[in-house]
Amino acid sequence: MSFTQKVAFVAGAGGGMGLAIANALIEQGCHVGMADLKSVPDGIMPGPGDYLYKEGNLSDDDFAHSAVNETASTFGRLDYLINTAGVLWLDRDKSVVEMDMDVWDQVMTINLKTFALTSRYAIPHMQSAGGGSIVHFSSIDATGGDAPAQDAYGASKAAVIRLAKSLAIQFAGDNIRSNVILPGPTMTPMQERWEGNAEAQANVAGFVPLGRLGTPKDMADACLFLLSDQASYITGVEIPVDGGIKARV
């Protein structure tokens, strides 16, 4: 897979999966625009690719627009968009019957609107570049119900799949591909409830056919494949990266 002199924009690059993907691309010689509500994280790869980090709220139209455009103008083009921004508020996101609907609105804004805005502003640059590839991060939670429920999270992640498929059809003629990764249980800052809790990690890993939790690197490896020319005939699909959990269904 070759990413030398290509340009990517990674939404949600302040840690976890987003940072792992940005680093993997930088290591491959890709120039990367990174954006997150968090400040610049430690551990960004020193090269050979360059990076531009923008701190701000990607659900804000003006910030999303400027961050994407500045990436394209700084590096001269835009080839890839990776959407990883999201929240999982286990303490507040409950059944729709009982949850505060302000929480519903906030989760939808962060988990879905950010994907819509970055796509809205990245796609014209990809059209100018002659094509591109988009990878959106959803969740295996998008494909079924839960008890106890996180209804806003699940619904927002299901909507991401629908958005990705629509973009795949709309812009196939422009050689722009749009795909989705459905992570399974993965050790990232979003899952801080497992940090330092060996028993909880073992319990979750016991449900995974491959017998372990996922890592940000697992997600980055799958993402780079979908971005690459090796996946040039793949668009409009969702790929579980879940250690085999979906195979149980």
CATH for 122: 3.40.50.720
- Rounded to two decimals, what is the model's pTM? 0.94
CA dist., res. 48 & res. 104, Å (int): 41
| Residue-number span of the structural domain to which 39 is assigned | 7-242
Residue 27 lies in a domain: yes
Q: What is the pLDDT of residue 140?
A: 93
CA dist., res. 167 & res. 59, Å (int): 19
Residue 57 lies in a domain: yes
Candidates 51, 121, 153, 233; catalytic one? 153
Segments in the chain below pLDDT 50: none
Residue 1 lies in a domain: no
Instruction: Give yes or no for a contact between 109 and 152, defined as CB atoms under 8 angstroms apart.
Output: no
Is 80 an active-site residue? no
Residue 169 lies in a domain: yes
Three-class secondary structure of residue 99 per DSSP: coil
Q: Which residues contact 147 (CB under 8 A, 6 or more apart)?
A: none
Residue 28 lies in a domain: yes
Helix (H) or strand (E) holding 7: strand 7-11
Residue 136 lies in a domain: yes
Specify the number of domains making up the chain. Answer: 1
Q: What is the pLDDT of residue 200?
A: 72
Partnered with residue 7 across adjacent β-strands are 31
N-to-C CA span, the chain: 32
Residue 248 lies in a domain: no
Residue 237 lies in a domain: yes
